[in-house]
Amino acid sequence: MKNKFYYIGLGVVCTLSLTGCSDFLEGKSQDEVIVTTTKDYAELLLGSGYPSAAVAGYNNRLLDNLSDDVDFPQTVSESASFNLIEDDYFPRHTWQATFYEYGAGVELINTEYYQLYRCVMGCNAVLDGIDKAIGPQNERDRIKAEALAVRALHYFTLVNLYGEPYDYNKQALGVPLKLTAILQEKGSARNTVEEVYRQILDDLNEAASLLEQYDVTEKDFKINLPAVRILLSRVYLFMEEWKKSSDEATKAMEYGLGMWDLTTVTMSKDASGNDIYPQPNSYDSPEVFWCYSSTNWGKTNDVAPVPSESFLGLYDVDPNDVRFGEAGFYVSPLFTYDWATGTNKITGYQVRKSNLQTGNTTTVLGAAVRLSEAYLNRAEAYAQLGMTSEAISDLNTIRRNRIKGYVDQTDFPDLLEAIHIERRKEFCFEGYRWFDLRRYGMPAIHHDFQATASSPRMRYTLSEKDMMYTLPIPNSVIWVNQSIKQNASASTPVREGTNIN
């Protein structure tokens, strides 16, 4: 009976996987598959557990659109293929509690909740059987470690979407902990935020223990030991366990080739004479420990947001910051020649860090765990621990490699704020900002929205500690699992805007 449940569990994983099952699976029936070797399990994890283009891209688009790094374009032309109000731009951009239910509603399969749990199920299927897989012990250990670490990343995303911030209310409801692929008759109830975080730490620490027995693998799109160390540093940072966060960041720094000095990068040209821009989130960068999935800024085929005034203002302070500007490596303006004035006019922005540029030597997947996070995690932890000189040293290391002509500083009027600003710039449009805002005390932010060229431009405000800093569980999820209790944010009244014309 145990084996039958195991087969069914894997069958469900394959059904849910957007990439489908590889033909390495030997079918026994429509519901039963057999996975026996370490190679089989590695392929199952890659296809059903690791973040896919749909998962990472979908999450980052959602998280960026919620944060204060973006705003909505001044004018957008609607078409027969979409409607700005009904096609989720308005409800998401203005933090409406009903954004999952707009128009015809959002089917279960199209929710972030489902997509992430689909990957959790893939990891669980691997963990259920990897210890008995046919193959060398080192392969079993590596695959198990990868599954544990990737599952931890998925749960970290889930609990920060649907649970209250750990530093605000760790006893609040988080998300259900599902640790096996075996099907259950009844759905699981939600665990607390603290319980989910403890499981995340258990998974990451076990993964680190398994991986530290072996040499570090690099540039194979699989999570490795230094990436796990950085994830541990990130989780401890969110838990405000500053010493543990700094220690894990320091361990990660023992690996890799050091920071990439973008101020000295000389761009080459492609056959057409176009500049070839470096990709910070690809294996072209010596800072990258793990490159995974893909991400697009904005919805796939319609409207992308634009950087907000508050975000753009960060670079006015440091005009020599090579991450931004006409030749910026992270974000750059797009120009159109204005014949009336005889000048180039900014008509939009390109997030170069997330888009494939002509001439790159490696696949650009758009999301990565890289060394710069270790420095910024440690800088923040040091600052919180009162280790001011150490924090300043780490902050200078980041800025020295990003700002032309930078001179190391010995003092910052508000060191913690300076670190937060640097973090916002370094990880812009990678989904970090929304989670950071939650742990910074959930400050008041605003978005502007204009439905059509003739409509008034309206300002919508997310108030301090607004309930929508914790997203509602999609109703389509609760219909399937009635053991799940809805978040209070689901009852938030319609958010009204203020005319700013």
Q: Is residue 196's pLDDT more than 80?
A: yes
pLDDT at 86: 53
* Domain ranges within the chain, ordered by starting residue: 1-214+465-501, 239-439
Return the CATH number of 1-214+465-501, one of 1.25.40.420, 1.25.40.10, 1.25.40.390, 3.30.360.10: 1.25.40.390
How large is the angle between the packed helices 415-426 and 309-317, nearest 10 degrees? 110
0.85 surpassed by pTM: yes
* Structure-block tokens of residue 292: 């995974």
pLDDT at 274: 74
Half-sphere exposure of 256 (CA within 13 A, CB side): 29
> Which position has the higher pLDDT, 271 or 363?
271
Cα(145)–Cα(448) distance, integer angstroms: 44
Residue labelled with tokens 């150490």 = 390
pLDDT digits (tens, 9 = 90+) for 436-450: 999 999 999 999 988
pLDDT at 9: 38
Complete DSSP assignment for 45-74: HHHHTS--HHHHHHHHHHHHHHSTTEE--S
Q: Is residue 54's pLDDT more than 70?
A: no
Please, what sign has the CA dihedral across residues 217, 257, 236, 97?
Answer: negative
265, 282, 302 from 278: Cα distances, Å: 8, 9, 27
**Within this chain, domains 1-214+465-501 and 239-439 share the same CATH topology:** yes
* Structure-block tokens of residue 450: 């204009």
* From 28-32, 214-218, 313-317, the region with the lowest mean pLDDT: 28-32
CA-nearest of 152, 233, 232, 230 to 196 is 152
pLDDT at 3: 34
Residue 342's CB: how many other CB atoms inside 10 A? 7
Residue labelled with tokens 């009244």 = 493
Q: In which band, very low, low, confident or very high, does the pLDDT at 266 lie, cut at 50, 70 and 90?
A: confident
DSSP state, residue 217: P
Complete DSSP assignment for 92-122: HHTT-TTGGGSTT---GGGSHHHHHHHHHHH
* Structure-block tokens of residue 377: 């995690």
**For the structural domain made of 239-439, what CATH number should be given?**
1.25.40.390
Partners of 36 in beta bridges: none
Q: In which band, very low, low, confident or very high, does the pLDDT at 347 lie, cut at 50, 70 and 90?
A: confident
What percentage of the chain exceeds 70 in pLDDT?
83
State which H helix or E strand residue 168 sits in.
Answer: helix 166-169
